[in-house]
Amino acid sequence: MSVDDAPDTEALGRVFLARVIEPGDEVAGRWVREFGVGEVVRRLRAGEDALPGVSGQRWAGLVARAGRAEPERDLAEARDAGVRFVAPGDGEWPGQLDDLGDARPLGLWVRGRASLRMWALRSVAVVGARACTEYGAHMAATLAAGLAERGWVVVSGGAYGVDGAAHRGALGAGGATVAVLACGVDRPYPRGHTQLITRIAEQGLVVGELPPGDHPTPSRFVLRNRVIAALTRGTVVVEAAHRSGSLVTARAAQRLGRHTIGVPGPATSGLSAGVHELLRQDAVLVTDAADVVELVGDMGELAPDRRGPVLPRDLLDAPARRVLAALPGPRAATVEEIARGALTTPDDAIARLYELRSLGYVERHGDGWKLTRQAMISVRGGRREC
């Protein structure tokens, strides 16, 4: 839902609940499923007739939060920050998040121009230690760059260490990356990554469950990891000690039936001990981006067929059609050249190209992009309409 549009009752109710209920609260998720958003909002506002499954003390705490919630104000602050609210059922909602069941987010706040649903279709999580070694940072950046060069979206948590290296690797390769935060997306955290997260919002997407201005807590970091796992086709862990939060992401990926992947480290490194434990279980060992793509590229229903039929052009919005029309036939073109032809910025062109890649229209060749063979006839036939 664009915050420029008048929100419907369901969407406004979800914005209200996002301020009242903590991420991943399965009891509240069951309320929404069984009673509906409107009834849950009504009961919380009234403060009477506690919903089932919580103590009186817990209910009183939720009612107190409800008394301070101002969903219209949250939407206004989001609009001012260039943020939109995406709820289940919206066209941009990634359907794979529904695999979380009652722990599914009530909605997501999204900062950036690209379509979250399209980007999530071809995405891989790269996570690991915050206090990583030089080896860990190098492997994360190299893997992310390689994935971006192959047309994959890199998802991570925006933290120091492996997360930051993965985001930088994807950005440096001119690729797409998504940062999933454990706080309001209008307030980058950690603060030392403000410039990086701002850059991600310009070239990629910044996503979070918490409403504008909300702060991170240890439990919110842990619960944020389930979103990273659910959004992506697989989770790659680069350096993780036995108690690392990135292992939470990997285990969530396992429970959801996603690929769990590990990059080995030195046998003597405590920072790789958690990864090695994963590899002794069900995780798959990889050493480069080609290994990752070989694994996740075969993933069931989420995987668009690279050689399948081109999806209808009416799925594309006008900016995407202009970028598609700017590709010069059979040869590869740089992002800058495509942006000039589409009368847009390079960052916007990158966002649209990754959407087009998820639909099978374009493919990446080194530093350039070109039409797929299946797209040639479609684009030539409709170029005058773009």
In this prediction, residue 39 carries a pLDDT of 95
* Angle in degrees, 0-180, between the axes of helices 56-68 and 9-20, rounded to the nearest 10: 120
**Class of domain 313-385 (CATH, top level):** mainly alpha
Nearest to 65 by CA among 115, 21, 25: 21
Q: Are 210 and 187 in contact (CB under 8 A)?
A: no
Position 378 scores a pLDDT of 52
Say yes or no: do domains 112-296 and 313-385 share a fold: no
Sequence-ordered strand ranges (E) for 157-312: 177-181, 205-208, 234-238, 259-263, 284-285
| Closest to 369 (Cα-Cα) out of 151, 171, 114 | 151
Predicted structure pTM score: 0.84
Domain over 112-296 is classified CATH 3.30.910.10:
no
List all residues 6 or more positions away from 291 whose beta carbon is below 8 Å from its beta carbon. Answer: none
Angle of the 134-149 helix axis to the 162-172 helix axis, nearest 10: 40
Q: Which of 340, 312, 315, 306 is nearest to 326 (CA)?
A: 340
Question: Chunked in runs of 10, what are the mean pLDDT values of the chain (386 residues)?
Answer: 62 96 97 96 91 94 96 95 96 96 98 94 96 96 95 96 97 95 94 96 96 93 97 97 92 96 94 95 94 79 39 66 86 92 91 87 89 66 41
Spans of all domains in the chain: 9-82, 112-296, 313-385
- Using CA atoms, how far residue 325 sits from 169, 172, 313, 338, 343, in Å, is 29, 26, 11, 9, 11
- Amino acid 8: pLDDT: 79
Per-residue confidence (pLDDT) for residue 243, from 0 to 100: 85
